[in-house]
Chain A
Amino acid sequence: MNFSATEAPLVEVENLKVVFHGARSVHAVNGVSFTVRPGEVLGILGESGSGKSVTLKTLLRINPERHSETTGRIRVADLDVLALSGAALADYRGGTASMIFQDPMLALDPVYTIGDQIAEAVCRHRGVGRREGMRRALEMLERVRIPSPERRLKAFPHEMSGGMRQRAMIALALACRPKLLLADEPTTALDATVQIQILLLLRELQREFGMAAIFVTHDIGVAVEVADKLAVMYAGEFVETGSVRELMRDARHPYTRGLLAANLHGARKGERLEAIPGAPPALDRAPTACSFAPRCRFAEATCRTERPRAIDLDPGRMVRCILARPAAATSSAA
């Protein structure tokens, strides 16, 4: 997994903000910036309401356009994603960047066979004829290790089990060899033995096709299995980023530490769990202070009045917390 440090990033997101307007306003994403290099996997870890899915959907421009207000810059493979429209946008989706979902039925049309759907995508993006499209579809089904792929070409989604539908969706997403794969909790609804198969498959395909990937999940174990670097998201902001190793061994932000403790991996029977008290904030206003302060054991007066700046400990290692200030007392590292 070595890539040249001078290689230009495939994905550049700068100060992305997304606000939904409806009966109420929801400030779903509040200034998110990151880069992803070709062949790299970024894991975005967060709970419900953190804004992780919205970030992903914005990268593919599938938020409801009328109700959302998006500012910032997104560049993928030298394309200004927020400025795309019409045929260019349709080329981008599926051709340059592609997405897989938690529920495969979101991606698969129930009235067409799997083979038809994959072939359609290939024909549209590569401009080839139907026979070539079907050949590519069969090839993809073999790549995702679906049993009896020739039969599955003619199968409808409802005739397949959950794990197979997930594989079919992956085949559909990767059929046109996109440069960027976006994964929105693709294994959350699967059984444990199927989940690990799909995760290994995704890792293998990502390496084989040399794609960059952004993987959204709430499960730390899943993030560790697939990602090279992690970003922890809370209330629409990245509160900590770094390589997977750095975050697992030396998490700095109190929220990240709380998440790791709540994972029960090392919890001892009979002992009370260190639960993070309270609940995430309502996102009806843009944040003016640290969003985590109401729940944080280490909160100080400044935390409730000022938004914490992003502190860069190392290239690619960021913590959005005053406790990470180099001048802060060593007690914060405890």
Chain B
Amino acid sequence: MAVIADGVALAPVPRSPAYWTGVSRRFRRDPVAVGAGLVILTLILLALFAPDLGLADPYRSSMLRRLKPIGTPGFPLGTDELGRDMVTRLIHGGRLSLFMGVTPVLIAFVVGSAIGIAAGYVGGRLNTLVMRTIDVFFAFPSVLLAIALSGALGAGTGNGLLSLTIVFIPPLARIAESVTTGVRGLDYVEAARASGAGRWTIIRVHVLRNVLGPIFVYATSLISVSMILASGLSFLGLGVKPPEPEWGLMLNTLRTAIYVQPWVAALPGAMIFITSISFNLLSDGLRTAMDIKA
């Protein structure tokens, strides 16, 4: 009666790794993604340990030392328009820029996922109500929306964070809803319902782990956008206020120096560029690593 029918001819399959082990293995084999990851790691470490690195004071200005070029002894990357050392301004600026890049996306990930997953799983009228409301926000170009919200709330780091978070909730909610709707229709969710499982059990066991991955990957691709938007807000005077070091703000204040020291004036832009591209490549690499089924 109990017959092991498949004992024959099973080609030996290597012991299956857990899902995330497989993902990290595939990720490590991708040189571009690993490179990008290292760059980001370096930037984060520099940002975290900036005060302990023995750098010059980022707020100490000196009118005598204004706009020194790159390579000046004692100021390897020159000085800005108020005579502050660029190296320390850039590194300290990284703290705020990275913070303004990652935090809104992180909060929006949590809030947007919750909204999107709930709307996607429940479906029907609730879904329509929630998603069409989200669509209204999504219809505004993100830059415009960020500026409008910042303008309404007033300048300052906290308000900048808030407006950026609001800007990113709609796209994340949309992705969450779309992925959840896709998973919701699959047979294994139907089978789980047929086993008699309750709604929350199904979401916890079956939906979440299949849905958070793709949403997370999309979120990482938004970090670079967030950084650029934050820099843009500071550039326009709506986000971070001087004398805080922040790359976008530095771009603004160095703008007038572009004919005097063009290389120095371009440095904050270069940092924004490097960081954004690294986040995008990292996000791409993650997506590829998570996509493959053995």
- Expressed in whole angstroms, the Cα–Cα distance for A285 and B10 within the complex equals 15
Q: Find chain A residues with CB under 8 A from B11 CB.
A: 281-282, 284
- Expressed in whole angstroms, the Cα–Cα distance for A295 and B5 within the complex equals 11
Chain B minimum-CB-distance residue to A279: B9
- The answer to whether B5 and A277 have CB atoms under 8 Å apart is yes
For the complex, is B8 an interface residue (Cβ under 8 Å from A)? yes
For the complex, is B52 an interface residue (Cβ under 8 Å from A)? no
Q: Find chain B residues with CB under 8 A from A275 CB.
A: 5
For the complex, is A294 an interface residue (Cβ under 8 Å from B)? yes
- Expressed in whole angstroms, the Cα–Cα distance for A275 and B8 within the complex equals 13
For the complex, is B6 an interface residue (Cβ under 8 Å from A)? yes
Q: Find chain A residues with CB under 8 A from B10 CB.
A: 278-279
Q: Find chain B residues with CB under 8 A from A281 CB.
A: 9, 11
Q: Find chain A residues with CB under 8 A from B9 CB.
A: 277-279, 281, 294-295
Chain A minimum-CB-distance residue to B11: A282
- Expressed in whole angstroms, the Cα–Cα distance for A280 and B228 within the complex equals 54
Q: Find chain B residues with CB under 8 A from A294 CB.
A: 8-9
**B7: min CB distance to chain A, Å:** 8
Mark each residue of chain B from 6 to 23: 1 if its CB lies under 8 Å from any CB of chain A, else 0.
101111000000000000
Chain B minimum-CB-distance residue to A292: B9
- Expressed in whole angstroms, the Cα–Cα distance for A275 and B5 within the complex equals 10
**A22: min CB distance to chain B, Å:** 11
- Expressed in whole angstroms, the Cα–Cα distance for A278 and B8 within the complex equals 5
Mark each residue of chain B from 70 to 111: 1 if its CB lies under 8 Å from any CB of chain A, else 0.
000000000000000000000000000000000000000000
Mark each residue of chain B from 118 to 140: 1 if its CB lies under 8 Å from any CB of chain A, else 0.
00000000000000000000000
Which residues 1-47 of B sit at the A interface, judged by CB distance below 8 A? 5-6, 8-11
Q: Find chain A residues with CB under 8 A from B8 CB.
A: 277-279, 294-295
- Expressed in whole angstroms, the Cα–Cα distance for A278 and B10 within the complex equals 7
**A287: min CB distance to chain B, Å:** 13
User: How many of chain B's residues have a CB under 8 angstroms from any CB in A?
Assistant: 6
Give the dominant DSSP class at B's interface: loop
- Expressed in whole angstroms, the Cα–Cα distance for A160 and B136 within the complex equals 36
User: How many of chain A's residues have a CB under 8 angstroms from any CB in B?
Assistant: 9
Which residues 258-296 of A sit at the B interface, judged by CB distance below 8 A? 275, 277-279, 281-282, 284, 294-295
**B186: min CB distance to chain A, Å:** 20
Chain A minimum-CB-distance residue to B12: A282
- Expressed in whole angstroms, the Cα–Cα distance for A279 and B6 within the complex equals 8
Which residues 77-115 of A sit at the B interface, judged by CB distance below 8 A? none
Which residues 146-176 of B sit at the A interface, judged by CB distance below 8 A? none
- Expressed in whole angstroms, the Cα–Cα distance for A220 and B226 within the complex equals 60
**B218: min CB distance to chain A, Å:** 25
Q: Find chain B residues with CB under 8 A from A295 CB.
A: 8-9
Q: Find chain B residues with CB under 8 A from A284 CB.
A: 11
- Expressed in whole angstroms, the Cα–Cα distance for A295 and B10 within the complex equals 11
Chain A minimum-CB-distance residue to B8: A278
Q: Find chain B residues with CB under 8 A from A282 CB.
A: 11
- Expressed in whole angstroms, the Cα–Cα distance for A295 and B8 within the complex equals 7
**A121: min CB distance to chain B, Å:** 35
Q: Find chain A residues with CB under 8 A from B6 CB.
A: 278-279
**B209: min CB distance to chain A, Å:** 24
**B178: min CB distance to chain A, Å:** 21
Chain B minimum-CB-distance residue to A277: B8
Q: Find chain B residues with CB under 8 A from A277 CB.
A: 5, 8-9
**B12: min CB distance to chain A, Å:** 9
**A294: min CB distance to chain B, Å:** 4
- Expressed in whole angstroms, the Cα–Cα distance for A298 and B9 within the complex equals 16
- Expressed in whole angstroms, the Cα–Cα distance for A279 and B12 within the complex equals 13
**A297: min CB distance to chain B, Å:** 11
- Expressed in whole angstroms, the Cα–Cα distance for A284 and B5 within the complex equals 24
**A303: min CB distance to chain B, Å:** 13
Q: Find chain A residues with CB under 8 A from B5 CB.
A: 275, 277
**A141: min CB distance to chain B, Å:** 35
**B27: min CB distance to chain A, Å:** 15
Chain A minimum-CB-distance residue to B5: A277
- Expressed in whole angstroms, the Cα–Cα distance for A294 and B7 within the complex equals 11
- Expressed in whole angstroms, the Cα–Cα distance for A279 and B5 within the complex equals 10
- Expressed in whole angstroms, the Cα–Cα distance for A278 and B5 within the complex equals 7
Chain A minimum-CB-distance residue to B292: A23
For this complex, 10 residue pairs linking A to B, each with C-beta atoms less than 8 Å apart, are: A277-B9, A278-B8, A278-B10, A279-B6, A279-B8, A279-B10, A281-B9, A282-B11, A294-B9, A295-B8
Residues on B facing A (Cβ under 8 Å): 5-6, 8-11
Residues on A facing B (Cβ under 8 Å): 275, 277-279, 281-282, 284, 294-295
The 9 closest A-B pairs by CB, nearest first: A278-B8, A278-B9, A282-B11, A294-B9, A277-B8, A279-B9, A295-B9, A294-B8, A277-B5
